[in-house]
Amino acid sequence: MTKDVVGIDIGTTGLRAVEVRDAGKAHPKLVRYHQVSLPEGAVNRGEVAEPNTVAAALKTLWSTGGFKSKNVVLGIGNHRALARDLAVPKMPMKRIRETLPFLVADMLPVPVAEALLDFYPINESEGENGPEINGLLIVAVKEAVQGNIAAVQLAGLTALEVDLIPFAVSRAVCRGTSFDGAVALIDVGQATTSVVITLAGVPQFVRLIPAGGGDLTQALVLGLSVDAPTAESVKREHGLAGASTSQAPETSIITEATSDLLNSLRNTVNYFSNTRPHIPVTGIVLSGGGAQLGGFTAALGALTRLPILPADPFASVALGRGVDAAALHATNGAFNVALGLALGSGA
């Protein structure tokens, strides 16, 4: 495996990348990280709409961030990817992957030929017809991935793998922190919110919710008749904290727009708890730009009645020369996805 690998988080408004050395070893090293913004419309909900524009941004990212490796890992995690529970007869993983198209054809939202399939094993059990492997079926629409790969190739980079973003989040967070019991790792992005519930660091359940911080921005743009930068400023200034004390129009817009996502997150955690009562969820770890909204953490904790747990994804990696630890931690988890993608290259 290549010594240095770069994980790239392709977001709606920007690109974030983390370069890791010796990802497959016990003590990998984070050697550099950087981000650049993207023009509106270049990426739509995690999918590259303008490959040439994104390729140019990737070249800028490499030159300004000083990245050395051209080997990259990309993430997929939007409304055109899903993970579902699946039990298959016990057999080697190679054989499972070969038979997936025949096993799950009737479960797919698109024809098999248009889908990318994978299987993530969790545990084994005894089924009606013999030993089974229980796990997660991973499905992504090919078209949703091809544009991202095309942009990377246009930038002169080599895509080694495409990984599910919730897996990347769990890899980054759980590698650096030990939790008691099952924990819900929630990453609130611009357009998609990922939820992965892990037990002892192993993903048990994944959901991708097609909503994020950008939906609140858009609600403010429409409700207040302002531009996007002004809406972002309103979000930062007001947040959810003043919802109970202010009658301003922006307050009601923020409360209403955010409550939909909060309720979806509560329902997702409750669904897991109700279907797996033997695996109680003991807490939540929050990351992503959308989770930085003032009052969001407290509101989610109150709604789910679960503690919001601290995590340090960078505790499990050494920092290369020139990487400022304080500055990295001040990013508030913005690079968790990119870090997890890079770490997965050594798995």
CATH code for the domain of 114? 3.30.1490
Question: Are 171 and 278 part of one and the same domain?
Answer: no
The answer to whether 85 and 154 are in contact (CB under 8 A) is no
256 CB neighbour count, 10 Å cutoff: 13
Both 292 and 322 in one domain: the answer is: no
pLDDT at 165: 94
Q: Specify the DSSP element, H or E, that contains 238.
A: helix 228-238
Question: What pLDDT is attached to residue 129?
Answer: 85
Residues 304 and 157 in one domain: no
Q: What is the DSSP letter of 106?
A: G
Is residue 326 located within the same domain as residue 196?
Answer: no
In a shared domain, residues 260 and 211: yes
Whether residues 129 and 158 share a domain: the answer is no
Q: Are residues 241 and 118 in the same domain?
A: no
Phi, psi of 111, rounded to the nearest 5 degrees? -60, 150
Whichever domain contains 303, its CATH number is 3.30.420.40
Residues 6+ apart with CB under 8 A from 121: 93, 96, 133, 134, 135
Sorting pLDDT into bands at 50, 70 and 90, what band is 178?
A: confident
Give the domain-ending residue among 141, 167, 186.
141
> Residue 44 sits in which domain range?
4-79+145-176+312-344
pLDDT of residue 176 exceeding 80, the answer is no
Phi and psi for 340 in degrees, rounded to 5? Answer: -60, -35
**Residues 142, 114 contacting (CB under 8 angstroms):** yes
Please tell me whether residues 282 and 217 are part of one structural domain.
Answer: yes
pLDDT > 50? residue 241: yes
Is the same domain home to 172 and 131? Answer: no
Element (H, E) at 173: helix 165-176
**Do residue 288 and residue 197 come from a single domain?**
yes
Indicate whether 152 and 137 sit together in one domain: no
pLDDT band at 346 (very low <50, low <70, confident <90, very high): low
Domain tally, the chain: 3
Neighbours of 44 (CB within 10 A): 14
Looking at 124, 141, 158, which one is the last position of a domain? 141
Say yes or no: 196 and 296 in one domain: yes
The average confidence (pLDDT) of the chain is 92
- Identify how many contiguous H helices and E strands the chain contains and give both numbers: 10, 15
* Residue-level pLDDT at 242: 56
Q: By the 8 A CB rule, do 78 and 10 touch?
A: no
